[in-house]
Amino acid sequence: MLSVRMAHPLSLIFLLMIHRAYSEKEHVNYIHPCICALKDSSVIMNCTFTYPTGYQIMKVFWTKTTVKNADNEFPDLSEDPEYSQRLQYLGDKQQNCTIRLSHVTQKDEHKYYFRFTTDNPTVKWLGKSGVTLAVTDLQVESPERVTEGDSVRLTCKSSCALTEGATFIWYRNSQPLTERRDRNNQLLLQSVRREDAGRYSCALHGHTYISPAVQLSVTYAPKSVSVSISPSGEIVEGDSVTLSCSSDSNPPAEISWFKGGTFVGSGRIYSISNISSDHSGEYKCKSRNIHGEKYSDAVTLNIMYPLKSISVSFMQSAQFWEGESVTLICSSDSNPPALNFSWFKENQSSAVGSGQSFSALQSGRFYCEAHNQHGSQRSDAVTVIVKGRLVILHISIVCGACGAAVFIITMLILYDMCVW
Ligand SMILES: *[C@@H]1O[C@H](CO)[C@@H](O)[C@H](O)[C@H]1NC(C)=O
Ligand SMILES: *[C@@H]1O[C@H](CO)[C@@H](O)[C@H](O)[C@H]1NC(C)=O
Ligand SMILES: *[C@@H]1O[C@H](CO)[C@@H](O)[C@H](O)[C@H]1NC(C)=O
Ligand SMILES: *[C@@H]1O[C@H](CO)[C@@H](O)[C@H](O)[C@H]1NC(C)=O
Ligand SMILES: *[C@@H]1O[C@H](CO)[C@@H](O)[C@H](O)[C@H]1NC(C)=O
């Protein structure tokens, strides 16, 4: 109760003083009552003041509140640890009350007032209209993505209106862009190319503060679509083979695979394990996104395989007359085709001939053996039979008694082995 009672008369004096000070005509003139400052920059609050002649100025200072402290005075900003290092009084004690506040941050957004006191305790002023300080950062406003060939406009946004003369600087991937500055705080990219993609930021000329970077992505249809084969080099049946489709596109493309004209699979990788000769052929991939599609060139898979289904066939028949020969042909399936053929007579160790065909002169069981670099294989044996000697006797008997009758008797005499 006591403290309340004590407070009453003091408060009255206080109110009277305030009333008196504020009722006077304005003695403080702020040249820019509202200031929009860029974060981290220095702000000059330009100010002049006048005071009645006959008094002596005791103290000049700035404050950010119209509420007095315990000492019945406004708190002096230069004694505030938040400000003391950054605040510089540029004015004097006569008429100029300009201050500079450096490294401003959002926390400095306030109204600031100039205060002076004179040698007469009742003659003191607070410039109550004050200077309103707004602090802004810069934000790049940009669409996230733009399609190649389109135009895009990027805006460097501030939360308060920066001074008219402010010059904006643009950066892409931290490199300043020299040209293409559009209207004051805008950057116009016309007919966007892929190289225009990047992280864009903006700044004000003469200021160190740079906005956070914003990614601009340029979308385009697939380009440079190609297939690579792993492992490279010769592919042999049973190998595992991987086909990879690479393409440049944004957004990423969907990949599909074709063998000949037939769809065989999808995904960037097409794997074939335990490959067989059936997989031989031409492969290509198709890369597709919302902007278009493109095929790769075709790659050929030529699957090598060792000899299979080797067999011997006869050019004519398996039987022949002595003195003639029979030609045997060795047929085989392999990749690469066999070039090296050897002929054997059954139960003889050394070859009796070479080359894809062989002329047998004697009876016997023959087989061929073919080689390619992946192996060799022998055929089943075939039987060759010499039927015997063909003797044609032309016996012309001229029958004198019959006069005109001529008999020709042709006889086949078979000897050695008789097959009939
Ligand atoms: C402060 O105001 C005066 C008078 O209008 C002007 O001449 C001066 O250039 C201003 N200074 C700044 C830093 O704004
Ligand atoms: C006050 O002083 C500052 C710093 O010396 C100066 O830049 C400014 O122009 C002065 N203001 C006036 C109104 O003279
Ligand atoms: C590979 O394929 C061949 C023929 O298709 C088959 O005989 C063989 O067992 C397969 N091998 C493996 C390891 O799957
Ligand atoms: C052909 O076969 C012979 C005998 O088997 C061998 O010495 C030679 O290296 C083979 N040549 C080729 C090209 O396979
Ligand atoms: C070759 O030898 C095998 C046994 O080694 C035998 O069974 C076969 O009858 C023989 N063939 C000929 C034509 O002599």
Q: Identify which ligand lies nearest to the alpha carbon of 276.
A: 3
- Asked if residue 393 is part of any domain, the answer here is no
* pLDDT at site 420: 36
* pLDDT at site 12: 37
- Asked if residue 204 is part of any domain, the answer here is yes
* pLDDT at site 412: 41
* pLDDT at site 374: 81
Q: Which residue range(s) make up the domain with 208?
A: 137-212
Residues 34 and 129 in one domain: yes
* pLDDT at site 25: 64
Residues 182 and 127 in one domain: no
Choosing from 301, 318, 334, the residue where a domain stops is 301
* pLDDT at site 162: 87
Residues 195 and 255 in one domain: no
- Asked if residue 189 is part of any domain, the answer here is yes
Residues 115 and 31 in one domain: yes
Q: Could you tell which of 235, 237, 273, 274 is best to mutate to test the pocket of ligand 3, judged by most ligand atoms within 8 Å of the CB?
A: 274
Choosing from 135, 170, 196, the residue where a domain stops is 135
Ligand 5 center–CA 348 separation, angstroms: 10
- Asked if residue 372 is part of any domain, the answer here is yes
Would you say 284 and 259 are in contact if contact means Cβ atoms under 8 Å apart? no
Residues 370 and 352 in one domain: yes
Q: Which atom, in ligand 5's list, is nearest to the CA of 347?
A: 1
Please list the alpha-helical segments (H only) found in 24-168: none
Q: Name residues whose C-beta falls within 8 Å of residue 7's C-beta, 6 or more positions apart in sequence.
A: none
Residues 254 and 342 in one domain: no
d(CA 200, CA 196): 10
Would you say 268 and 255 are in contact if contact means Cβ atoms under 8 Å apart? yes
Choosing from 248, 271, 301, the residue where a domain stops is 301
Would you say 101 and 45 are in contact if contact means Cβ atoms under 8 Å apart? yes
Q: Could you tell which of 28, 30, 31 is best to mutate to test the pocket of ligand 1, judged by most ligand atoms within 8 Å of the CB?
A: 31
The token pair at 161 is 């209106």
CATH of the domain at 79: 2.60.40.10
* pLDDT at site 113: 96
Residue 340 CB–ligand 4 contact under 6 Å: yes
d(CA 153, CA 188): 4
Residues framing ligand 1 (Cβ under 6 A) = 31, 44, 46
The partner residues of 313 in beta bridges, in order of sequence, read: 329
Residue 371 CB–ligand 4 contact under 6 Å: yes
- Asked if residue 406 is part of any domain, the answer here is no
Residue 276 CB–ligand 3 contact under 6 Å: yes
Domain count, the chain: 4
- Asked if residue 321 is part of any domain, the answer here is yes
Residues 378 and 323 in one domain: yes
What DSSP line would sit under 15-48, residue for residue? Answer: HHHHHHHHHSPP-EEES-SEEEEETT--EEE-EE
* pLDDT at site 10: 39
Per-residue pLDDT of 59-106, as tens digits, reads: 999 999 999 988 889 999 999 999 999 999 999 999 999 999 999 999
Residues 42 and 122 in one domain: yes
Residues 252 and 199 in one domain: no
The strand order across the sheet containing 43-45 reads 43-45, 99-101, 87-89
For residue 196, give the 3-state DSSP assignment: helix
Per-residue pLDDT of 246-268, as tens digits, reads: 999 999 999 999 999 999 999 99
Residue 98 CB–ligand 2 contact under 6 Å: yes
Residue 354 CB–ligand 4 contact under 6 Å: no
Residue 198 CB–ligand 2 contact under 6 Å: no
Residues 122 and 86 in one domain: yes
Q: Name residues whose C-beta falls within 8 Å of residue 272's C-beta, 6 or more positions apart in sequence.
A: 240, 241, 242, 243, 279
Write out residues in the chain with pLDDT < 50, as ranges.
1-23, 393-420
Q: Whose CA is nearest to atom 2 of ligand 5?
A: 347
How much is the pTM? 0.63
The partner residues of 115 in beta bridges, in order of sequence, read: 61, 126
Q: Whose CA is nearest to atom 9 of ligand 3?
A: 274
- Asked if residue 54 is part of any domain, the answer here is yes
- Asked if residue 219 is part of any domain, the answer here is no
Residues 45 and 58 in one domain: yes
Residues 365 and 273 in one domain: no
Q: Whose CA is nearest to atom 12 of ligand 3?
A: 274
